[in-house]
Structure 1
């Protein structure tokens, strides 16, 4: 049985072409590619690449300045944060949430719009494996070129499950019977119709947006569309801890807001989503709510929804 694509690059002794991550005594990381006969230079001296070729991971090398460096293969989170960028990358904390909450499984058929620098594409390809498919769409040729280079550098060549198309998702999407659609773009609400046509019943759309206004409009567009279940939205924040003897406390810096994630499921054709039963907060659809947006509820529809929610609320008689 053949190894999955890229698996041989993740284990065993270091080989020519492998990515190596060095860690210095202060915990700083440096990444380079092993080449026979080359030297790696630091501000504390140099050492030959040949010293690592054939050595196991976890080896410590010393420079000519007698400074030790720990050598390991970079983990995928390390790789995506250090790779060349065109657009900003999706941070590992959000990529992990997408893989888990969008339920990306081995063999899944996934469509991705907005490739950026290829960070999320790499995560998705590892998750779907050689038996799945990932169709990625990117408007900009320069971003697509950077993303392709980053993905192929990580896997050691082209991935058999990946198809990268330069163009707009709305105009170029040809995939059908898709399990998941991931939208990382400025206006994901513009692609909800083509996503619904491509998704299988029960399939999932996941949107990554940066601002609350984008989040609000995407949610209203999902509700208005009629083919999706009630959307869920959230963000994650990561706080590391300082660990030094008895000085165990949260670090003063953390990875705070990077973006919002929204998910919704594709309903079966011809089935209307159930009316939400919870009562909107007072003023939720006040004067500041833009009534001219075609993706948002009309005043009559909002009034009907509020009336239905009120009627569904049980009345408790008091003695």
Structure 2
């Protein structure tokens, strides 16, 4: 957290502060305080002037008697409600990236792409003013939205952040010296296309973490990391978050949850000239882009029943059709 942000996160509400209003049904509204302005719903309104100068965590009543809780939004709240150009990295995944990616104060971190800036803000908080986050985004409109979102949250342009509009493979060599980047975070469609550029930029022992949406992407980037020869054996996982309903004795999981949002996969950069140790286990068949349509159940690690077993199962059904 920068010194400027620390001032914005403390003290009584001021003009320009973002405030999260929560009604008795748990519905949340985020407003930016302006002198003389009003926040309206179909059931009354609240005057901004009644909030300006009030302490964080206050309650106030609107013109028809409905009570609201007024509190500064957390970063997790902000990224879920801020303007979006592209889909955001959910807080549960951003937290995993910061922790499992070992993003530390003073680190030099490369990020691609930026999207709406949700992950960028978590990375900036982790590296602090002494670090650097170098973000690359192909689309100018996405970069503009991300910068505006971060500026609104931090109160000004973050001193550690540089946003470059362009392709990572083409732009990264001009932005950093070889072997000077501590961490790389790739949130893009085809991260396997960037492994050579990323490998040149990372320090020995540096970490690469990729965020991909589908199992097909996950398989392909894992095989590309192995084929590159300069990275350790990749590790992949996903996380799911399930909220709980807490009401008297009715303590149970909620009916809806944040299930699959994406897969995360990490690997470490080996020292120059070092090859990864041979794996002890028998490797499965790798990804072949030219033969992707010919994948079989065996390729995906499934146990395939024999024809004899299938015929026996069909016979045991009785009225079901018999196989030849």
Q: Which residue number corresponds to residue 171 of structure 1?
A: 170
Q: Is the 8 A contact 2:2 2:128 kept in 1?
A: no
Q: Which residue number corresponds to residue 288 of structure 2?
A: 290
User: How do residues 76-91 of structure 1 correspond to structure 2 at under 5 angstroms?
Assistant: 76-91=75-90
- How far residue 292 of structure 1 moved from its aligned partner, in angstroms, is 4.6
Q: Is the 8 A contact 2:2 2:129 kept in 1?
A: no
Q: Which residue number corresponds to residue 310 of structure 1?
A: none
CA deviations on 1:245-296 (whole Å, 9 max, x unpaired) are 111111111100000000000110000110111123xxx328xx52758xxx
The gaps in structure 2 that reach 5 residues or longer are 292-324
Q: Which residue number corresponds to residue 236 of structure 2?
A: 233
Select which of 188, 191, 197 maps to 1:188: 191
Q: Is the 8 A contact 1:5 1:130 kept in 2?
A: no
Bigger drift between 36-45 and 108-117 goes to 36-45
Distance in 1, Cα, partners of 2:285 & 2:109: 35
- How far residue 233 of structure 1 moved from its aligned partner, in angstroms, is 0.3
Q: Which residue number corresponds to residue 59 of structure 1?
A: 58
User: How do residues 101-140 of structure 1 correspond to structure 2 at under 5 angstroms?
Assistant: 101-140=100-139
What value does the CA root-mean-square deviation take over the aligned residues? Answer: 1.4
Q: Is the 8 A contact 1:227 1:273 kept in 2?
A: yes
Distance in 2, Cα, partners of 1:291 & 1:216: 11
Distance in 2, Cα, partners of 1:56 & 1:152: 23
- How far residue 5 of structure 1 moved from its aligned partner, in angstroms, is 3.7
Distance in 2, Cα, partners of 1:195 & 1:3: 28
User: How do residues 132-151 of structure 1 correspond to structure 2 at under 5 angstroms?
Assistant: 132-151=131-150
1:30/1:230 Cα in 2 relative to 1: closer, same or farther (>3 Å)? same
Is 1:264 matched up with 2:270? no
Distance in 1, Cα, partners of 2:3 & 2:56: 20
Bigger drift between 39-48 and 9-18 goes to 39-48
The gaps in structure 1 that reach 5 residues or longer are 294-319
1:240/1:273 Cα in 2 relative to 1: closer, same or farther (>3 Å)? same
Q: Is the 8 A contact 1:223 1:230 kept in 2?
A: yes
Distance in 1, Cα, partners of 2:103 & 2:10: 24
- How far residue 31 of structure 1 moved from its aligned partner, in angstroms, is 0.2
Q: Is the 8 A contact 2:134 2:162 kept in 1?
A: yes
Is 1:10 matched up with 2:9? yes
Q: Which residue number corresponds to residue 209 of structure 2?
A: 206
TM-score by length of 1: 0.88
- How far residue 4 of structure 1 moved from its aligned partner, in angstroms, is 2.4
Bigger drift between 132-141 and 33-42 goes to 33-42
CA deviations on 1:42-71 (whole Å, 9 max, x unpaired) are 222112111111111111111111110000
Q: Which residue number corresponds to residue 308 of structure 1?
A: none
Distance in 2, Cα, partners of 1:94 & 1:247: 29
Q: Is the 8 A contact 2:56 2:71 kept in 1?
A: yes
CA deviations on 1:73-93 (whole Å, 9 max, x unpaired) are 001111000000000000000
Is 1:278 matched up with 2:277? no
SS of residue in 2 equivalent to 1:180: strand
Q: Is the 8 A contact 1:141 1:166 kept in 2?
A: yes
**Following TM superposition, where does structure 1 have runs of at least 4 consecutive aligned residues deviating by more than 2 angstroms?**
2-5, 289-293
Distance in 1, Cα, partners of 2:176 & 2:208: 14
Q: Is the 8 A contact 2:18 2:72 kept in 1?
A: yes
SS of residue in 1 equivalent to 2:8: helix
Q: Is the 8 A contact 1:4 1:129 kept in 2?
A: no
